[in-house]
Amino acid sequence: MISNEILNYSDVELENILCPSTTIDAWTFKGKDIREAIIGKRILNPSIDLSNLCNLNCPYCYVEKIGSLKKIKNNNELGYFDYINIIDKLNDAGAKTINIVGAGEPTVDENFYKIAGYIKSLNINVLVATNGIKIAKSDKLIDFLNEIKASIVIKVNSFKNDLQDILVGKEGYSNYRDKALSKLISNGFNSDKPSRLGINTLLMKANIDEVYNIFKFCRENNITFIAGNYMPTGRTKDAVFQGDYLLEDISSKKLFEPISSEDYSLIRKKILDYDKQNNFPTISPEAYISGLPCIQGLGIQIDNVGKIWHCPARHKLINGKLISKEIGDTKTNSDLSKIWKSESYLRWFRINYDGNCPYKTK
């Protein structure tokens, strides 16, 4: 039996705490399903990676190894039928949403349409994290995403186009991003409540003066604001920017420095005051600076070679220290339900789960 104080709340209270109205549609769950996930009966909100291929090469990429010069396809990536088998296993394990979050840009994967469509055919919600370039270029893609009722999280680190381009290392990127955002809005992704449109902003010194304005833009346009500090992995290993070798101008390294805890607290207070004044929910779990809890913790992450991690942070918290260690491997551990229920680290996490993130700093 799992003994977790959060289980003392009613189903409605669990929904209000972990799925507030400001969250995105694909992360909105019934209290009963949340409860089943915590006690080990359901993998609620898992994530998968597709190909490493990407049309950007962000110096801060959290899934790319330090020292790599560009994103290239892994030789041992999973094939289409491997993904179908994994999705079937996640369906059997009770997944309500599958997040397609990497390892490169999901929409450039040759099997993206088939994989996302298959997930939806099983009545599982789809969330896609994207840089938006393909959306800007393809009406077919946005029609498909609308057809499967996907939730979309798009990268917005800055509304200053020159700065945004520097941060992702691609001149002209922000023009594609802006076109994609406009298309998503005009196609109604933010017209429902909860919204099917989110903005992901990575907090760094470069955008510290913009974060609050990006947040306000989201609130005023019914867009979920998902913003937090660096992942402790990839080119941000130990939550510190380590991709300076990719910068054309080394002086721009200062743009990528993490924000201080004092700056984080000041922005968080402004956001909290805004939400209180405008009757948006304010809750105690604050995995993101906007006040959202982390519901991805009630799932697992499967990368594109089949390794199983707890979540996209790809770490375990053991004796107060972050350790990069996978949970298992789909090639040797096919019973995902059993892994979720019985694996010692996942069991420890579920006992202590409260909606906060144990892997990121504040």
CA-to-CA distance for 34 and 45, rounded, in angstroms? 10
The alpha carbon of residue 277 and the mean position of all alpha carbons in its chain are separated, in whole angstroms, by 28
pLDDT of residue 1: 62
Tens-level pLDDT at each residue, the chain (362 residues): 677 999 999 999 999 999 999 999 999 999 999 999 999 999 999 999 999 999 999 999 999 999 999 888 888 999 999 999 999 999 999 999 999 998 999 999 999 999 999 999 999 999 999 999 999 999 999 999 999 999 999 999 999 999 999 999 999 999 999 999 999 999 999 999 999 999 999 999 999 999 999 999 999 999 999 999 999 999 999 999 999 999 989 999 999 999 999 999 999 999 999 999 999 999 988 899 999 999 999 999 999 999 999 999 999 999 999 999 999 999 998 899 999 999 999 999 999 999 999 999 87
pLDDT of residue 72: 85
Query: Which letter does DSSP use for residue 162 in this model?
Result: H
Task: State the total domains in the chain.
Answer: 1
Residue 362 lies in a domain: no
CA-to-CA distance for 28 and 19, rounded, in angstroms? 5
CA-to-CA distance for 135 and 186, rounded, in angstroms? 13
Q: How many residues does the chain have?
A: 362
**Is the CB of residue 153 less than 8 Å from the CB of residue 130?**
yes
pLDDT of residue 74: 85
Residue 360 lies in a domain: no
Sign (positive or negative) of CA dihedral 48, 51, 56, 62: positive
Residue 359 lies in a domain: no
210 CB-near residues (< 8 Å, 6+ apart): 158, 159, 160
Residue 98 lies in a domain: yes
**Residue 157 belongs to domain with CATH number:** 3.20.20.70
pLDDT of residue 98: 98
248 CB-near residues (< 8 Å, 6+ apart): none
CA-to-CA distance for 124 and 13, rounded, in angstroms? 24
Residue 30 lies in a domain: yes
Q: Give the residue from 182, 193, 187, 188 showing the smallest Cα distance to 219.
A: 193
Residue 81 lies in a domain: yes
Structural domain boundaries enclosing 93: 5-352
pLDDT of residue 334: 82
The model's pTM is: 0.97
Residue 175 lies in a domain: yes
Dmax (CA) of the chain? 55
pLDDT of residue 284: 85
Residue 311 lies in a domain: yes
